[in-house]
Structure 1
């Protein structure tokens, strides 16, 4: 290649690199432009590769990279919560009365799957605490499956390092989401753009009713002030409106893509340099504990397949120790029993919320750790 051409390419590379550096460390609008652009490119690329939830994982990866590089932006709380409500409506479309009746008939298997995952995560956390791999009860809170926001917020009140808990929780979400997306693409590739919707639904009543459900779910969640409140409130309200009032929930694909992006950004922006600096020493143990948890949950899924006759991908996603919203997006992008998956995920969410503080305190005592031992 001629030297002049090499020099020109080098100058272009330096110009692009300098532009990215200025945008990354510049005003928030420039960083938002960079975040949206990279998210769009990654989302389209992942969807082109056949990965379900590409418009979740792409923005999530982009947000992690930007945040760790020092260019984090504040994801607006209102759009983030509205996005959860939209995803709640997406989930509710699959929660029909016949499916709920079928799940109710299998309640022993259902409860067994929920509490098996919780038990495995607590055992792993207890061992990490007893072996003093992580300080105090941090490991117990960090490996708790689901309810990532709630576990992070509550952990500091019980002697855990909230920063390391956040790192463990959201690293698990990323690993689980990536693994589940790849597995879903192999076992049940989706035929649409990553969500149960069309480009612009024809039913005006359905569109209006769905947006009303999103708004009501958002308001109810703000009043109740519960973690993942918009997601849960929208699921309940939308399911009731659909099954009892006959509302046809309509969700345009552009709305779903934007909602997926906000959820991905909300997760990714929690990965800061400060959080990572407190996790460097424990990184091998964190990754190992997450992989062990994922593998054991996969084993529980195999038991559901063999003894309960659940479809393999449905069983894997149902027992997957990821956040309910990310699993919901992946499940809705593939041909699986979404209602079964989300029922088990949400039941585990409530079980962790109710039993987490008590079990964390109990297991911390059993591990021999005392508050006076903290450095």
Structure 2
């Protein structure tokens, strides 16, 4: 009886299509869509991105795929445009009178992320750039998207970023229930101001604004040009109120999340994932410590600007922007203040952390 020394996984015998790259692409797309739908039902923010990471890890374990670079660049550009459109005048006006304390607290959060990243890289004995980007508090999708440009382990960065996001998401309602259950704030008026989504305007931004942003970013030597160039151009258009759309259509943004998720997941496999399990307890300890320190900063910010402790806590939560805004709305908090602080920190993180990772890369001499 002849035994095949290669003994393929059972799923390859059942489905057959996974034997070819085309078949694995089909399985990657269908699996990501199904898993994304399941995550969406569970109300997980950026569900397609998380689904893309998990499905790509499974596909990579079946044989892997060559991922075109322009896919991830397109995803970065669309994500940058979507982030830029979030900077509405209403959200920024809610924090306009408190620029100094907000910038100070944001800078403190940045420093805490830097310290956490250095500590994690040394404790876990991983690349300095990987440790720094893994512990960056805020902008998980953007940080994951640009990690490869700084010789970081994209798969590990994605795992640690979403480990942090999940921890924040799970802890937010529990903290509100046990520590802020008597909170009664003045709800921000978001009604009557529906977001105008234009498919034509979005297409114009993606096809013209995106490439223009990338070109400008390269001209002035901005790091991560495919994400930050379109982001800054769209931010300017949004603040000048001349943007052809107020938001990117949901399916387009979800497609960008998938592209970024696939980029991260296809660099990881089940075997490599098992190797990284030893890092999870250490990462959890650092993430919990970071969350507690950010909570203290939030309460400090609340007392400095005269908002509730809950608003301060939600505004400085290290990540899970959509979850923090949703909790703020449910608790009748100052939603625009929470959103505004998150956006300011998101912009600072995406502008400052990549150059820091690059500088650390040159200083240590280790990619």
Offset at 1:36?
Answer: 0.8
User: Is it true that 1:231 corresponds to 2:227 in the alignment?
Assistant: yes
Q: Deviations over 1:240-294 (max 9, x none)?
A: 2233362331533321221121122122223246754764554432343334334
2:136 to 145, 156, 161: 145
Structure 1 residues 178 and 310: alpha-carbon distance in aligned structure 2, compared to 1, 3 A threshold: same
SS in 2 for 1:145: coil
Residue 73 (structure 2) aligns with = 81
Q: CA contact under 8 A between 2:129 and 2:360: conserved in structure 1?
A: no
1:262 and 1:284 mapped to 2: Cα distance? Answer: 29
User: Is it true that 1:271 corresponds to 2:268 in the alignment?
Assistant: yes
2:50 to 38, 54, 57: 57
Deviates more, 1:253-262 or 1:308-317: 308-317
Offset at 1:78?
Answer: 1.7
- For residues 131-280 of structure 1, the aligned pairs below 5 Å read 134=125, 141=132, 144-145=135-136, 147=143, 154=150, 163=153, 166=154, 168-180=156-168, 201=198, 204=200, 207-209=203-205, 211-221=207-217, 227-244=223-240, 246-249=242-245, 251-272=248-269, 276=273, 279=276
Q: CA contact under 8 A between 2:135 and 2:287: conserved in structure 1?
A: no
Residue 182 (structure 2) aligns with = none
SS in 2 for 1:270: coil
Q: Deviations over 1:173-218 (max 9, x none)?
A: 121333455578999xxxxxxxx776xx4x7456535542233234
Residue 190 (structure 1) aligns with = none
2:359 and 2:201 mapped to 1: Cα distance? Answer: 46
TM-score for both structures, normalised by structure 2:
0.68
Structure 1 residues 75 and 361: alpha-carbon distance in aligned structure 2, compared to 1, 3 A threshold: closer
2:103 to 106, 111, 132: 111
Q: Deviations over 1:308-349 (max 9, x none)?
A: 4278588547542x6xxxx67778999654443222122133
User: Is it true that 1:285 corresponds to 2:282 in the alignment?
Assistant: yes
2:284 and 2:53 mapped to 1: Cα distance? Answer: 18
Where does the alignment leave 5 or more consecutive residues of structure 1 unmatched? Answer: 1-13, 156-161, 188-195, 365-370
Residue 341 (structure 1) aligns with = 342
Structure 1 residues 251 and 314: alpha-carbon distance in aligned structure 2, compared to 1, 3 A threshold: farther
Residue 159 (structure 1) aligns with = none
Structure 1 residues 300 and 87: alpha-carbon distance in aligned structure 2, compared to 1, 3 A threshold: same
2:10 and 2:131 mapped to 1: Cα distance? Answer: 47
Structure 1 residues 234 and 317: alpha-carbon distance in aligned structure 2, compared to 1, 3 A threshold: farther
1:37 and 1:136 mapped to 2: Cα distance? Answer: 34
2:136 and 2:29 mapped to 1: Cα distance? Answer: 30
1:103 and 1:231 mapped to 2: Cα distance? Answer: 25
Q: CA contact under 8 A between 1:92 and 1:238: conserved in structure 2?
A: yes
Q: CA contact under 8 A between 2:81 and 2:206: conserved in structure 1?
A: yes
Where does the alignment leave 5 or more consecutive residues of structure 2 unmatched? Answer: 1-8, 138-142, 177-194, 330-334
Q: CA contact under 8 A between 1:217 and 1:233: conserved in structure 2?
A: yes
User: Is it true that 1:100 corresponds to 2:92 in the alignment?
Assistant: yes
Number of equivalent positions: 326
SS in 1 for 2:240: helix
Structure 1 residues 48 and 16: alpha-carbon distance in aligned structure 2, compared to 1, 3 A threshold: same
Q: CA contact under 8 A between 1:133 and 1:285: conserved in structure 2?
A: yes
2:14 to 16, 19, 33: 19
SS in 2 for 1:106: helix
User: Is it true that 1:28 corresponds to 2:21 in the alignment?
Assistant: yes
- CA RMSD in angstroms comes to 4.3
